[in-house]
C-alpha cells in the first residue's frame, strides 16, 4: 500500500475496534493479550486486495481502486468477520485470510505462554503470523509455505506492519527442522492426517492446533514407549480451509443412497470425512445415529510414532479407526 497507508489509518482503527467488539460479543478473545493483538495489528495491510463472489464469478476489491465507494467496500471487507479469498489460480482458490473469529478461537486454543516458539504451517497473507509475533515477539515465530509467491507477499505485508518473523519457503508437511524444536504448531490448511514430522519437531508438552476433516484438532505432544505421541480432542467449531499442499488430500466418502437428513447434516459430513477409507457411509450413519449424533468435541485423534487413529469419546474405546497416511 506504500505511501497510501496513512490515509486508511483512522477508519481502519475504527473498523478494527468494531471487529474486535463483534468477536468478543460472540464469546471470543477472552485472553487480554490476544484481544490486544487483534486491536493493534492492522489486517488491511495484509489484504491490499481480495476477491468476493459476485454473479457467478469473482470481483476484485483493492485499496488503490479509483472509485471511493469500492475502496470503502474493500476496507469494510478487510475488517468483516469473514474469510477473504486472496489468491486465485485458474479460477481455484489457493490462499485466503481466515475468518477473524475463527483465527481467534485457534490462537486461544494454542495456549501460548511467554517464551514459546511457534511454527505456523501456511503463511497465507502473513496476518496470523503478525498476531503471533505481536503476542510472542518476532524471534519466536516461524511461518512456512510451499509457494514462493505467497511467502514473498507475506514478508512484504509483515514488514509493512512492523513485524519480521522468520518466513520460510518449504513443504509444511515436513515442518521446519532447521528452526526446531517448537513449543506450539498451528496450521491454517486442512489435513487428512497429522504429518509425523510435526510432533517429532516439538518439545514435550507442546500443543498442535490444526484443521482436520471439517474440524479443528488440538493435540498435546508427549513421549511414550513407542516414541513421540500426540493426542487430543476436536474443538466444537466447524472449519473449512484450503488443503495442505505437499500433504495428503482429505478423502471424500461417497454418500449416495443415504437419507437427506444425514447427507445435509454438517456433523454427519464431519464424521464421514474423518472416517474416510475406514468406515463406509452406511457404517458411519449407523454409528452417528446410535451415538445420538455426536458433536465434534466428542471425537479425538491419537498419534503414536508412525501410527495415528481417530476415536469417539475414548482413544481406547470401541469406536476407533485409522487415519490416512501421516506422510513424511
Taking only the tens place, the pLDDT of each residue in 74-118 is: 999 999 999 999 988 877 777 889 999 999 999 999 999 999 999
Average pLDDT on 227-233 reads 93
Question: If DSSP codes are grouped into helix, strand and coil, which group holds residue 50?
Answer: strand
Q: Determine how β-strand 84-89 pairs with β-strand 92-97.
A: antiparallel
- pLDDT at position 149 is 93
Closest by Cα among 47, 173, 158 to 122:
173
Residue 256: pLDDT above 70? no
Contact 131, 41 (CB under 8 A): yes
Q: What is the mean pLDDT of the chain?
A: 90
Q: Decide if domain 2-188 falls under CATH 3.30.590.20.
A: no
pLDDT of res. 23: 98
pLDDT attached to residue 328: 41
Mean pLDDT value of segment 12-28: 97
The least confident of 93-107, 114-128, 156-170 is 93-107
235, pLDDT greater than 60: yes
Per residue in 207-240, is it b (16+ CB within 10 Å) or e — as a string? bbbbbbbbbbbbbbbeeeeeebbbbbbbbeebbe
* 2 burial via Cβ count (<10 Å: 0-12, 13-18, 19+): exposed
| Count of beta carbons in the 10 Å neighbourhood of residue 93 | 14
Pick the closest to residue 245 from 186, 195, 307 (CA basis).
Answer: 195
d(CA 302, CA 2): 47
The percent of residues in the chain predicted with pLDDT above 90, rounded, is 74
Return d(Cα 4, Cα 160) in angstroms, integer: 12
Tell me what the mean pLDDT of segment 182-204 comes to.
Answer: 95
190-198 average pLDDT score: 92
Q: Are 78 and 97 a contacting pair, CB within 8 Å?
A: no
Domain map of the chain by residue range? 2-188
Mean pLDDT of the 118-124 span:
96
pLDDT of 58 above 90:
no
H-only helix segments in the chain: 9-25, 32-40, 68-78, 100-109, 127-136, 148-160, 197-200, 260-263, 266-274, 281-290
Q: What is the pLDDT of residue 243?
A: 78
pLDDT (average), residues 16-23: 97
Task: Assign 32 a pLDDT band (cuts: 50, 70, 90).
Answer: very high
Question: For the chain, how many residues are written?
Answer: 328
Three-state SS string across 187-256, please?
ECCEECCCCCHHHHCEEEEEEEEEEECCEEEEEEEEEECCEEEEEEEECCCCCCCCECCCCCCCCCCCCC
Q: What is the mean pLDDT of residues 53-65?
A: 86
> CA 6: distance to chain centroid?
30
Alpha carbon distance 67, 99 (integer Å) = 26
pLDDT digits (tens, 9 = 90+) for 257-313: 788 888 889 999 999 889 887 888 899 999 999 999 999 999 999 999 888 999 999
What's the pTM?
Answer: 0.92
- From 119-133, 234-248, 261-275, the region with the lowest mean pLDDT: 234-248
Catalytically active residues, by annotation: 95
Q: Tell me if the bond preceding 328 is cis, omega within 30° of 0.
A: no
Amino acid at each position: 500500500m506504500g505511501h497510501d497507508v496513512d490515509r486508511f489509518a483512522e477508519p481502519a482503527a475504527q473498523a478494527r475496534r468494531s471487529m474486535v467488539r463483534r468477536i468478543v460479543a460472540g464469546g471470543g478473545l477472552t485472553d487480554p493479550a490476544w484481544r490486544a493483538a487483534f486491536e493493534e495489528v492492522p489486517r488491511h495491510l495484509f489484504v491490499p486486495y481480495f476477491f468476493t463472489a459476485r454473479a457467478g464469478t469473482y470481483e476484485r476489491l483493492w485499496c488503490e481502486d479509483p472509485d471511493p465507494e469500492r475502496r470503502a467496500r474493500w476496507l469494510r471487507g478487510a475488517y468483516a468477520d469473514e474469510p477473504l479469498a486472496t489468491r486465485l489460480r485458474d479460477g481455484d482458490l489457493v490462499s485466503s485470510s481466515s475468518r477473524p473469529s475463527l483465527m481467534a478461537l485457534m490462537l486461544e486454543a494454542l495456549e501460548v505462554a511467554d517464551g514459546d516458539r511457534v511454527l505456523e504451517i501456511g503463511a497465507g497473507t502473513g496476518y496470523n503470523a503478525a498476531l503471533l509475533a505481536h503476542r510472542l515477539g518476532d524471534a519466536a515465530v516461524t511461518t512456512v509455505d510451499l509457494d514462493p509467491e505467497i511467502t514473498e507477499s507475506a514478508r512484504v505485508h509483515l514488514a509493512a506492519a512492523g513485524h519480521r518473523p522468520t518466513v520460510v519457503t518449504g513443504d509444511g508437511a515436513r515442518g521446519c527442522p532447521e528452526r526446531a524444536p517448537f513449543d506450539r504448531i498451528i496450521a491454517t490448511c486442512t489435513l487428512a492426517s497429522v504429518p509425523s514430522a510435526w510432533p517429532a519437531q516439538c518439545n514435550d508438552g507442546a500443543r498442535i492446533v490444526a484443521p482436520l476433516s471439517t474440524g479443528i484438532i488440538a493435540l498435546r505432544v508427549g513421549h511414550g514407549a513407542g516414541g513421540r505421541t500426540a493426542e487430543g480432542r476436536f474443538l466444537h467449531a466447524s472449519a473449512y480451509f484450503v488443503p495442505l499442499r505437499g500433504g495428503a488430500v482429505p478423502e471424500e466418502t461417497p454418500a449416495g443412497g443415504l437419507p437427506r437428513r444425514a447427507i445435509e447434516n454438517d456433523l454427519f459430513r464431519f464424521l464421514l470425512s474423518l472416517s474416510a477409507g475406514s468406515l463406509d457411509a452406511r457404517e458411519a450413519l449407523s454409528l452417528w445415529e446410535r451415538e445420538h449424533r455426536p458433536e465434534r468435541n466428542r471425537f479425538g485423534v491419537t498419534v503414536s510414532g508412525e501410527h495415528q487413529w481417530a476415536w469417539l469419546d475414548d482413544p481406547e474405546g470401541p469406536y476407533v479407526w485409522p487415519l490416512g497416511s501421516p506422510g513424511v
